[in-house]
Amino acid sequence: MRTVRDIPMLENIPVLLRTSLNAPVENGVVTESFRLTAALPTIEYLRTRHAKVVLVSHISGSGAETLEPMYKAMKEWIPNLAFCPVSTGPEARAAVRALSAGGVVMLENLRRNAGEEKNDPAFAVELAELADVFVEDSFDTCHRVHASIVGVPKLLPSYAGLTVEREIAELAAALSPKHPSLAIIGGAKFSTKEPVLARLLTSYDSVFVGGALANDFLKVKGYPVGVSSVSGADDAQIKKLLTNPKVLLPLDVVVASQGAEQSSSRVVELSEVGDTEGIYDIGPKTGEMLAEKIHSARTILWNGPMGLFEKGYLDGTRAVARAVAESDATSVVGGGDTVAVISELKAENRFSFISTGGGAMLDFLVSGSLPGIAVLN
């Protein structure tokens, strides 16, 4: 795979940089800038070598959202940054032509054009017409078969950016952990997590299953789960995983009645979940068990929250974050909710590597590649 360091000439060359600017926004203001700061090294590499840098990215949502809040936030680090309210067409081409050597322009949200997510070849051509070189630096979307991810690299000389390069190196290394090793997988959707659980069980000494994902396992084991979120997964697949002694599950849980306020939640043993209660977080005994595992581990891989993040059940995730931050182990973590808690605790510098990807991180751990990476080879 060629990286940005292999581009033979950059002086005055327009470079289409697919980067990750998908940050949370409230009232028009970026509230967490992890992905924005992660994008800076590749931007600076190109800018200081006098390329004309064309930033393209997306923001999650309905497709109507704007990247303007990201533009305003990044102006702090890139004073000469310009913004274009479209991503293709005459106005976008004019914005690129107006760039001087070392200039940077951010184009509008790619997903405002339906051709992006449909991987429309015509939209890929419109993007490719803006530059002479393409750089892929949006690892978090490399598992998507979108026009800017897999379409454009077929049309331009293409290279991996510094973020993608490091993601591949760190995640590949995490597949050969130092022992004792611990993997922690949270979140939901057993169907998306089953492949990575199976993969990690081949190389890690212990794999803890948390979040809503654990509800499926507890149900199969015969514990009551009340009105907890379950994915309806095939019990046979879960039973097969449960035969592996490396699988760890919660020892206690935080529950609340359906629709009740978080303040009315309570900690119970696994057998004590009521018929009208839902499981929303791991309990303190589970946190203590994980802290012991974390303290003795030499490698820790973590993706996904321990509780229902959207409803404010963050205590379990915070406890795990603090324990990993205090550990001497090599720690590799990812997932938007996980990173949000780490940022809230201002503990980013206490982790060995924080991935910009959630689903992309898991997919890479399973297959060792992604569509947006394979197309660069």
Q: What is the pLDDT of residues 55-64, one digit of tens each?
A: 999 999 999 9
Tokens found for residue 163: 């973020």
The one catalytic residue in 186, 336, 357, 372 is 336
Full DSSP string of 218-269 = HHHTT---TT-------HHHHHHHHTSTTEE--SEEEEEETT--GGG-EEEE
Domain membership of residue 377 (yes or no) is: no
- For position 268, what pLDDT does the model report? 98
Domain membership of residue 68 (yes or no) is: yes
Residues 277 and 336 in one domain: yes
Residues 44 and 141 in one domain: yes
Q: What's phi and psi for 3, nearest 5 deg?
A: -110, 175
304 given a catalytic annotation: no
Residue where a domain stops, chosen among 115, 132, 165: 165
Domain residues for 31?
4-165
Domain membership of residue 372 (yes or no) is: no
CATH code of 81's domain: 3.40.50.1260
**What is the number of structural domains in the chain?**
2
Listed as ranges, residues in the chain with pLDDT below 50 are none
Among candidate residues 362, 342, 341, the one with its CA nearest the CA of residue 352:
342
Domain membership of residue 203 (yes or no) is: yes
Angstrom distance (rounded) from CA 69 to CA 28: 6
Residues 128 and 189 in one domain: no
The answer, yes or no, to whether the previous bond of 284 is cis (omega within 30 of 0) is no
- For position 189, what pLDDT does the model report? 83
The one catalytic residue in 18, 35, 112, 293 is 35
Among candidate residues 298, 304, 316, the one with its CA nearest the CA of residue 185:
304
Name the helix (H) or strand (E) containing 16: strand 14-18
Q: Please give the angle made by the CA atoms of 349, 353 and 357, to the nearest 5 degrees.
A: 120
- For position 57, what pLDDT does the model report? 98
- For position 377, what pLDDT does the model report? 80
pTM of structure? 0.94
Angstrom distance (rounded) from CA 36 to CA 293: 33
Residues 158 and 14 in one domain: yes
- For position 47, what pLDDT does the model report? 97
Among candidate residues 70, 82, 78, 1, the one with its CA nearest the CA of residue 36:
70
221 given a catalytic annotation: no
359 given a catalytic annotation: yes
Domain membership of residue 37 (yes or no) is: yes
Residues 182 and 240 in one domain: yes
Angstrom distance (rounded) from CA 199 to CA 240: 13
The one catalytic residue in 189, 219, 285, 298 is 189
161 given a catalytic annotation: no
Q: What is the DSSP letter of 151?
A: I
- For position 258, what pLDDT does the model report? 83
Domain membership of residue 286 (yes or no) is: yes
- For position 188, what pLDDT does the model report? 87
Residues 151 and 298 in one domain: no
